[in-house]
Amino acid sequence: MIDVVRATDLGDEHRRAITEIFVDGFGPEFSAFSKDPARLTDAFEHALPLDLYWVALVDGEPAGITALTDGTRLSFRHDGRELRRHLGLLKGTFADLAFRSTFSATLPSTRDGLASLEFVATRAKHRGRGVGAALLSHLLALPQYDEYVLEEISDINAPALHLYEKLGFREYKRKKVYHTRWSGINYYISMRLVQG
């Protein structure tokens, strides 16, 4: 049984579990800062505003997450001091600078009815079991939205791209990246779904 709830309904005591899912999903993209998932979780735990996140629960256990915003609110709000405390002076400073340029952008145009889905991730042990599909399907059924965007999905994340296409999302933008050598990512792909 998969239930979908707001992260705030679970309370702050689930913040670490939610951050662990975030790291489980995106840890490889942050490996330049640390390859240790616990260290990344420590570093990022403060940065996820729970009021923007939704959680898929499998038998009551957090198994998947995504942020849903209006495109103007940031779903990753870090403190450089916290990053330096957990990642060290050099890597923490590098992470701070990288995140300021990567995670500080809002959607270029917003309007009522437009939603941005961000940081979709499923815990490794639950992947391939419909958690991401259930989570996104729940959000796609919210009546206040008629258009959804997913910005900057790495081109090497084939399972995510396949899921989004299956749900009806279509690519509308592709951006070349310059960190291919260390990340393996060639492009960030943006997708859109317009309903009704």
pLDDT on residue 70: 93
Residue 68 reports pLDDT greater than 90: yes
Local confidence band at 6 (pLDDT 50, 70, 90 cut-offs): very high
Any idea which of 17-26, 69-78, 96-105, 178-187 has the lowest mean pLDDT?
A: 178-187
Name the pTM for this structure. 0.93
Residue 29 reports pLDDT greater than 90: no
Local confidence band at 28 (pLDDT 50, 70, 90 cut-offs): confident
Which residue(s) pair with 191 in the sheet?
150, 171
pLDDT on residue 177: 83
Residue 40 reports pLDDT greater than 80: yes
Residue 27 reports pLDDT greater than 90: no
pLDDT on residue 183: 73
